[in-house]
Structure 1
Amino acid sequence: MKNIIVTGTSRGIGYELALQFANAGHQVLAISRKTPQTLLEHQNISCLSIDLSDEAALQEVDQFLSSSWKRVDAVVHNAGALLLKPFAETTQSDFESIYKVNVFAVANLTRICLPYLQSGSHVITISSMGGVRGSLKFAGLATYSSSKGAVITLTELLAEEYKEKGISFNVLALGSVQTEMLNEAFPGYQAPISAEGMATYIYDFTLNGNKYFNGKVLEVSSTNP
């Protein structure tokens, strides 16, 4: 059984993913600002209620790992923030807010986990088709899509930097998934796959994808977006 960190577990894909890992017998560290009671009550899930955009708060993760797990087999950077706003109205503060969650938190949490990662460990970052070069882009998502492009390049660089240690880094660029965040941004839009369905794909990729990929961006979308 593996020790797996999942971020953004309060709802949607992260919530479903944490449950799938835990129900299969893996140990899960679920990180989100709000913690559902279902996760708190699961014997295989440890929960940390922290704001990922707060670098200092992430030290709680280091404290947990050093005192409890000692090793990390997989990290799924699933947490994300989305802003739908015309670019002309977008401020630097807007960019900073989105990047703190979508980019800086990924970098900071990965750095904290490095001493606990080992050969065979797998780090997955959930990006978006909106962050992939040449894919269809949507107006109003300048902060979100550009941040999702940034973590793609970051992942490629980390894969190169840590390949000799046997640690794999990959990106899953998702198309639209029927989540609360999607519904809040685009009310009424119907995505082709549920949060639970996408979590099932990510579950398998987390456990097996590093056997075949490292430093790669996999587009996981049956539609445009």
Structure 2
Amino acid sequence: MSKKIIITGTSRGIGFEMTKLFASEGHQVLALSRNEKPLKEQALERIEAFPFDISKTEDLHKVASYVKTEWGGSADVLIHNAGALINKPFESLTQLDFQKVYEVNVFGVAALTQAVLPFMKSGSHVVTVSSMGGIQGSVKFAGLAAYSSSKGAVITLSELLAEEYKEQGIAFNVLALGAVQTEMLEEAFPGYQAPLSAQEMAAYIKNFALTGNAFYNGKVLQVSASTP
């Protein structure tokens, strides 16, 4: 059965691959990214891509308007995949650095969720892509104070929303990813080789987004092939 799926961070990496996978299986996808050109160039059916800045109120209104007019006011799955990462020693991090990261990774997640929730009914699923760096007790990496702390924040946010919306039957879950070979990883840690490709992780998240809400709500799944 075809579903209506909203994904952020779709210009490259996991989000780009995931969008193509959903569309190839017959689902309708609203692909949100600052740069819509990579997906537009694919010219794939069932994908609508327009420029989107998660920190801008007018862009959030644009999403709500699209769902209302083009999808008849309903959305089944929201995947928060967009992420901002700054790798910098803590003493060098500015307030603006923290603000930039939290604007995308936390405030944007909350704001887009608020914009889409009125269109979600029982059986819908909100999936937030977090990081193993946001898991309490996990191995931490120097330089990621802003990024990892923001990823911890959305884990708690998702747990709270699962509680708040459980009567409506809307599930909220988090996938805390380990290292995946993406452009963002390469930019932050040049030369590092991750055990999983963007395509492999995209396939996993796609399947979880479609079926995971039948088994989980308010949960954080650690999706990492590396130990510890």
TM superposition score category, shorter chain reference: over 0.9
Is the Cα–Cα contact under 8 Å of residues 73 and 118 in structure 1 kept in the other structure? yes
C-alpha separation between the residues in 1 aligned to 2:99 and 2:227?
A: 28
Residue 221 (structure 2) pairs with residue 218 (structure 1): yes
Is the Cα–Cα contact under 8 Å of residues 183 and 189 in structure 1 kept in the other structure? yes
Is the Cα–Cα contact under 8 Å of residues 121 and 168 in structure 2 kept in the other structure? yes
Q: Deviations over 1:22-79 (max 9, x none)?
A: 0000000000000134446111101121111223321110111111111010000000
Q: Match for 2:186 among 183, 191, 209?
A: 183
C-alpha separation between the residues in 2 aligned to 1:154 and 1:102?
A: 11
Task: Please tell me the residue identity of whatever aligns with 1:45.
Answer: I
CA 22–137 in structure 1, closer or farther in 2 if over 3 Å, else same: same
Of residues 54-63 and 141-150 in structure 1, the stretch that sits farther from structure 2 once superposed is 54-63
Residue 209 (structure 2) pairs with residue 206 (structure 1): yes
Q: Deviations over 1:136-174 (max 9, x none)?
A: 000000000000000000000000000000000000000
Residue 166 (structure 2) pairs with residue 159 (structure 1): no
Taking the TM superposition and a 5 Å limit, the aligned residue runs for 1:1-225 are: 1-39=2-40, 41-69=43-71, 70-224=73-227
For the residue of structure 1 that corresponds to 2:113, the secondary structure is helix
Could you list the structure 1 runs, at least 4 aligned residues long, displaced by more than 3 angstroms after superposition: 36-40
C-alpha separation between the residues in 1 aligned to 2:152 and 2:227?
A: 17
Contiguous gaps of at least 5 residues in structure 2: none
Task: Please tell me the residue identity of whatever aligns with 1:13.
Answer: I
C-alpha separation between the residues in 1 aligned to 2:117 and 2:134?
A: 25
Is the Cα–Cα contact under 8 Å of residues 39 and 49 in structure 2 kept in the other structure? no
Contiguous gaps of at least 5 residues in structure 1: none
C-alpha separation between the residues in 1 aligned to 2:213 and 2:84?
A: 26
Task: Please tell me the residue identity of whatever aligns with 1:2.
Answer: K
C-alpha separation between the residues in 2 aligned to 1:147 and 1:165?
A: 27
Task: Please tell me the residue identity of whatever aligns with 1:6.
Answer: I
C-alpha separation between the residues in 1 aligned to 2:106 and 2:170?
A: 20
The two structures, once aligned, show a CA RMSD in angstroms of 1.0
Is the Cα–Cα contact under 8 Å of residues 11 and 39 in structure 2 kept in the other structure? no
Q: Deviations over 1:10-32 (max 9, x none)?
A: 00000000000000000000000
C-alpha separation between the residues in 2 aligned to 1:215 and 1:157?
A: 8
Is the Cα–Cα contact under 8 Å of residues 136 and 224 in structure 1 kept in the other structure? no
TM value normalised by structure 1? 0.98
